[in-house]
Each structure stands twice: as C-alpha cells, then as structure tokens.
Structure 1
Amino acid sequence: MKASSVQQAFKSLTSRIHPQLPLSERESQRLLNALTSSFRSQLDHHDVSASTSASCLPSPSPSPSHSTQQQLLSSSSATDRHLASILTNPLLTKPVHQQLKAKSKHPVALFEDQVAAGRATLNSARLCLDAFRNSLSVLSPAQTKDQISRYAAGTRALRWLWTSASTPSLSFTLDARFCNHLAFFLIHEGRESALWELIDTPVPTSANLSSREASRRKGLLLNSMVRTHLSAPDHALASALSAFFRALDTSHLSHASTSHAGSYLIQNLVKLTISSASDVTLYDQFVDAIPRWNRKHPDRAVYRIANLKLHHPTTPSADFALDFIRELKPLAAHPFLSPSTNSQKSTVFSFFFNTVKLLQKQNRFDDALWVMEFMQQKFPEQFKPPNSSTASQPFSQSAETASSHLIFPEWKVPEFG
C-alpha cells in the first residue's frame, strides 16, 4: 500500500515535468466514468438544494403536476449551469496562442470570446492584437484601412481595459508590445483622443506606485503614440512632434512623462530624410525645446543638441559638438567617457565619428585631428592607427599636412552586440 502511494506521488511529479502522454483506452474509460459520476452527483446536489430551499418557503401546497414541473425546471437550470461551468473551464479550452496558430477564428473575434467568458488577460489581448496587426502587413493601404475600421480592435481593447481594476494605474503600459498595438489601432481608428484621456486622467499614487512611476507610465503611452506616427509610410513627423509638444506643454506632466518619447525622437530624427521647409522648422523647434525636458541633466541636453546639430537637414554644424568635447577634455571621469553597455558604446563612438566626418567634409582638418587625438587618448584600445609610423607620430605634429588626408587613420565605428 505504501509502495503504491509512493508510485502515485512519483507519477504526479513526473506529469508536471513532462507533458502528459495520450491516455490509453482503459484510462480514457476511467476518466469518462469519473466525469459521469461527478456530473450525476452535481445534479443530485442541485436537486436536494432546490427541494430544501423550496420546503423552507411558506407557500400554499401546490398541485402534484405543478410540483413536478418545478422539479423539472430546477433540474434543467442546474444542468445548464453545470454544463456551462464545464464548457468554460480553462482546462478544457485551447490556449489563445494555439487557437491563433490554428487560425480557426479571427483574432479580434477570439479576443471578444475571451472577454465574454471573463478569461481575457493582458497576455491574450496582446497575442490577439499582434496576430491581427501581422495579418494587415500583406494588405494594400485601402484594405488595411477597411479592416482596421471594420474590426475596431483598439476600441474593443480599450473598452475591456476600462473594465479592469488595474487600468487606472496604467500598468498595461509596462507591456510595451501591447501598448504599441493599442496606440497603433486607436490612432488609425481616429480615436487618438482616447489615448489623451488616459494620459490626462490622474493616476492614484500609493505606497506601491510613486508619482514618478505614474508619470513614467504616462510617458510610455506617449512614446507609443510617437512611434505610431513615425511608423507611418510617410513618416508623419508633424503628427509625432505635435503630440510631443502637447505633452511638453501640459503642466501636470513631468520630465518622466516626456523623456522616453524625446529620446526616441532624437534617435529617429538623425535618420530621417527631411526636405520640406515645414519639417525643418519643426526640427529646429524640437532642438530648441530639449533643455525644457532635460532640466535635471544639463550635460545630457548639451550632448543631444550637439548631436542633432550634426545631423541638421539643411545647415549641419559641428561647433556644438566641439564645445561639448572641449568641456569633456579636462575631466578625469564623465559618464559619457565611460560607456558600459554595447548600446552606450555605439552611441558615444558614433557621435565622435560623425563629428570628425563633418569636420573633414567642411575642410576643418585641424579640428578633426584634435578630435581624433582626443578619441585615441580616451579610448586607446578601440582607436589604434592601422600602421606603426602613424601611431608613433602625434597628430598635432602633422596638422600642417592634414589637407593631404594621408595622416587620417582609416578607422571605422567598432561593431558591438
């Protein structure tokens, strides 16, 4: 008997580690018998409960036919309730990702089923929105617009969010993929105002949610809005910057609310091809606004302005970059000179190389040599001239022959990651 219980416990443990194998014919019959027995006992329980509650109520004694009818109705409703509880049990339904993989139902319809059954979660919502958005990638712009309007996935997801107790804290923004999908669909459904309603609604703070964290979550939602505008086929810079400026001008939003979107805009502005005069004006307005959302980090503001000036669409300038580097030169240590992650290293070295590249292009060779000498001094392992003769000769001694371009090492931006 003891051995049997140990064997049963071991079997239970291994079933958690390894997927359960298909049941044999005998095991299937035993499971069916157990379910049948459970089903009958449930019906008997409901019958007893119904008859007991009925006997406790004072009422005129019904006729035999009326009593029989009541029992039948009671049994019928009990059966319906029990069947519903079985059919909606999560153990008897396929996971959302399996149903999406099988493509047995439209992702938005599947999400609505999850909501109706009370089983919708942030994970299942993200999976459904992700599948729907992926299905749009093969459609024409007109077809995409029609599908987005027809299924209103963003509106449905938002309606579900407002019924969730966690929505007032904006905890859903911590799921970046879901947040990006929500912003994408709502904006394309013409409901961007609903996103602003979420941002403008005060978030109740508590011991577990500081005001700074609440502002950061608002910023994550703003960042998703900016991403959606910039991901449009025509790179809607005006819409993206309009959203950012609106948040910047809102008095109740803090630095934490705009820093994510501001950083994302800087990363993309240096890559975009900007040609229209209106977009150039917006570019300049964004550069001028950088100190407003970097008050706590003035050094960071100087660097960001210098970087955008290097990539200005019409009048690029390296002067701001040179001023920033000159401020760094006498310092023994500075976060910008101590990049730790691959992403930070790529950012720092790209900034130096872009500065040198522009200085060379503008025939400012003395300044270019000075920056390269600074780079070799601060990062000797990463920036070694390719030949020994150049390495043994200080750059400053060769400044007079800089215009020949012969003394410029053929350095490349190091590869990271």
Structure 2
Amino acid sequence: MQAAAARRAFSSLASKIHPQLPLTPRESQQLLTLLTTSFRSHLDREYPTGPSEAPPPSTTTQIVKVEQRRRVPSSYDSASEHIDSILSNPLFARRPHRRGSDSAAADALKDPLAWFLDQAAIGTADISKAILCLDVLQRSQNKSNGRRSSLSNNDTRPASMIAEWLRTSGEETSKDFLVSSPTMNGAPRRSLVNRLVPLLLAEGNHAPLWRWYTYEPEEGGVPNKAQITPFKGQLLKEMINAARTRDEAFTIFLQAYRMTKTDERNADVKSLQVAGARLVNMVVASSQVPCTPELYEQFALSTHGWLFTWKPVVQAMLCLCHPTQADPEPGLKLIKNPDSIIGPTLLKQSRQKFLVRMCLGVAQQLIKAERFADAQIAMQFTKEHFADLVMVKYHSSSHHAINQKVSDQKRIREEKRNIALLERLVVT
C-alpha cells in the first residue's frame, strides 16, 4: 500500500517536473531554470571554489592573494558559458519552419540567412547550403548597392553565424570544408572558405580564420595533413587578398609566420610560400601603396624562413621597392654574379619574368642616381640572358589593336619603355 502511494506521489512529481510536450513558454522556462540550477549545483559540489581567507597584514601579499582568487575558475561562470553556448546554437535558438519544397526555395531567395538558420535548426544544413546562402546574399547586396561590400547589417553578421555553425556542427574539420574538389575543367572550385574570408574580415571576426589555419588533423585521420595543406595556403592567400590596407596584409602574414614552424620539410611552409608570393607580387605591382616601413622590413626579413633557393632575388626586389629607401645594390650584386640566379631562374618562365623586372628596376634606379655604367651592366645582362622577353616585335594593325586586352596593352607599353631605355644606354 505504501509502495503504491509512493509510486503515485513520484508519478505526480515527475509530471510536474517534466510534463508531456509541447510545453507552454512559461513551463519551458521553468524546466530550463530547473535544469540550469541543478547543473550549477552539481558543478559546485564536484568542483567547489576554495573558501575565502582573511587577508594577511602585508599589502603586497594581499594583492597577490586577491589576484590568485580572481584566477580561480568559477563553476557558476563555467556553467553559464556552457549553457549560453548551447542555447546560442541555431538548433536551440531558432524554431524551424517546416514547409514544402516550393516555399523553401522561395524563402532561400527572399531571406537566405533565415532559410539557412532554419536548415541548421532541423539538422539539414550542409556546406553546399551555406555556399548557396552566401551567394544569394552577395547577389542581392550587389544588386542593391551596385558594388561589392560587407553583408553585415546592424547586428546581423551572416559570415560569423555560418562560421559558428561550422564550429558547433563539426563541419569545419570535415573533408567537404577542408578539401576543395576540382571543377569539370580541372581548376579548383571556389569553396566556402573563399566566400567567408573577406566577409569575416569585414565583420572584424578573425578568430575562426586563425582556428582553421592552425587546425592539425589527427594522425591517420580524414582528411590528412597533406590534404589540408592546400586549404591553409588558399585560406592565407584569401586573407591577404581581402586585407583593406597594405599594413593589414603584412600584419596577417607575419602572424601566420609566427604560428608556423619554419622548416623546409614542414608542409605548412607551403602555405606561407603561396601567400608570401601573392604579397610580394602585390608589392611589386603597386609599390606606391603606403605602408609602415617597419612592417615592410619585418616582412622582408621573414623571407629567410619560407624562401630558399629563390630568396636572394626576392629580397633584392623587396629592397628595390622599399617604401622610403629604395636600394638597387642587392640586385646589382646579383647581376654581377649571375651563376647564383640563372640556374633557379631557368626552371620557370614566371621566375624569368620576375628577374627581368628586377633587373630593369635596378637599371632605372641607377640611372636616377646617374650611375650609367652600372645601369648598362644591368641592361646588358637582361639583353644577353632574356632577349626573348625584352625584345618584342610590335604590330600596328588596327585589328590587333582592337582585340588587344588591357593587360596586354600595359605589358606592351612597359616593354616599349624598356627598349627605349636600352637604346638610350647604348647611345650613352
């Protein structure tokens, strides 16, 4: 009899604590408060904070003790952070709207971010849907503003929301996110990270980017380290491309350099080489862009850790493009000792063009300094070893002029100036 009464009492108590769903908002809040209080009480029992001690007479010791007590982790704070992180997840923060496929497609076009968060709430979000969300947002933004800009609107930060979904869902360590599959023509597909990088930088949220860059897969896991090396290189390159100023680009690269173990056998050095090459090309293409000389010099010094056989030529070019103190001497020294650079140069045509540009830049700087003999040495070296790159036949037919691309026109003008400079030196 007493057992039956106990069961009835327990059943009544259980029905009050956890009634059948759906709950009313007030009941849901009561249940959440009960679970939260219970969870915090359990943490307080398992990980109690030490009892406060009376401060000793010494003022210095007192300050030390106070600082030590401040650093003791609070179970209450830990529980609050844990619960907040759970409740902020789209799975709990949103009530999904289940609709037909036609309505879902209309929602994706009308409000792509809300549509994606609904997909996350019902557990059907994936990488392809995140890409679709950002693409629709970008197209609508470009259409309304007529230019490419941040998608952020007041407190709405779509890139940060998608990055948080990647973290909480575990997708940021998946093969779909880290390994980009090629397109039909073999070119790398524009992945989700390419879309997220400029938006996250515009939103001021760098934490996900560095978390992805420093991710190390488990031994024997999928994807493996070799598979995510291209991802890291592309990630850092996109961060350099999306930097709003030259100083920001230098700062991003130098932070990645400090995070990477600079060893020629380390696969992560390849990511520095990809991004570093991009940054060097940006400097060479527009050396007049303002930047802080100290940051520029730190970047130039960093080449010791991620460049190897090609390092002397790149360093000479960076000395030539210094924002305040352009110096042709390192380049002239290489030109006078060609054996150290001709071998590596002959491997790739891109390196040949880079070296020719460095030699022409050295010659121009020497002419400005009225060092005509040294300038003629630089031009003679260029003509002797790379005549096919500087001696170009020009066609004046109107058909050729109409169909010539803008980039080709710029290259032709530059080569004409090079030939004129060469003829001037010959006369001198």
The question of a shared fold, defined as TM-score above 0.5 by the shorter chain, is answered with yes
CA distance in 2, matches of 1:128, 1:145: 14
Change (3 A) 1:122 1:361: farther
The Cα shift of 1:404 comes to 9.5
Which position in structure 1 is the counterpart of 2:116? 111
For structure 1, which segment, 150-159 or 169-178, has the greater mean C-alpha deviation from structure 2 after superposition? 169-178
Which position in structure 1 is the counterpart of 2:275? 261
CA contact (8 A) 2:319 2:326 kept: yes
Letter in 1 for 2:372: F
Which position in structure 2 is the counterpart of 1:133? 138
Q: Deviations over 1:240-273 (max 9, x none)?
A: 3222222222255741342222222212223153
1:4-403 pair list within 5 angstroms: 104-115=109-120, 120-137=125-142, 147-162=152-167, 167-168=172-173, 172-175=177-180, 176-206=190-220, 209-229=223-243, 232=244, 235=245, 237-250=246-259, 254-270=268-284, 271-275=286-290, 279-294=292-307, 297=308, 299-329=309-339, 334-340=343-349, 343-344=350-351, 346-384=353-391
CA distance in 2, matches of 1:130, 1:364: 55
CA distance in 2, matches of 1:217, 1:116: 28
CA contact (8 A) 1:170 1:217 kept: no
For structure 1, which segment, 361-370 or 308-317, has the greater mean C-alpha deviation from structure 2 after superposition? 361-370
Change (3 A) 1:145 1:224: closer
Change (3 A) 1:338 1:325: farther
Change (3 A) 1:240 1:261: same
Structure number, greater radius of gyration: 1
- Secondary structure of the residue aligned to 1:314 is coil
1:398-413 pair list within 5 angstroms: 405=424, 407=426
CA distance in 1, matches of 2:368, 2:175: 48
For structure 1, which segment, 238-247 or 282-291, has the greater mean C-alpha deviation from structure 2 after superposition? 238-247
CA contact (8 A) 2:179 2:228 kept: no
Q: Deviations over 1:201-243 (max 9, x none)?
A: 43224376553544443343233323222xx2xx1x3333222
CA distance in 2, matches of 1:109, 1:366: 68
The Cα shift of 1:336 comes to 1.2
CA distance in 1, matches of 2:362, 2:355: 11
CA distance in 1, matches of 2:159, 2:354: 35
For structure 1, which segment, 220-229 or 321-330, has the greater mean C-alpha deviation from structure 2 after superposition? 321-330
CA distance in 1, matches of 2:362, 2:377: 11
CA distance in 2, matches of 1:408, 1:148: 63
Identity of aligned residues (%): 23
CA distance in 1, matches of 2:218, 2:202: 29
CA contact (8 A) 1:222 1:244 kept: yes
The Cα shift of 1:154 comes to 0.9
- Secondary structure of the residue aligned to 2:389 is coil
CA distance in 1, matches of 2:324, 2:115: 50
CA distance in 2, matches of 1:382, 1:153: 47
CA contact (8 A) 2:178 2:228 kept: no
CA contact (8 A) 1:173 1:220 kept: no
Aligned length: 289
Change (3 A) 1:202 1:190: same
Stretches of structure 2 that go unaligned for 5 or more consecutive residues are: 1-97, 181-189, 263-267, 394-420
CA contact (8 A) 1:173 1:221 kept: no
The Cα shift of 1:321 comes to 1.4
Change (3 A) 1:363 1:196: same
Length-normalised TM-score, structure 1: 0.57
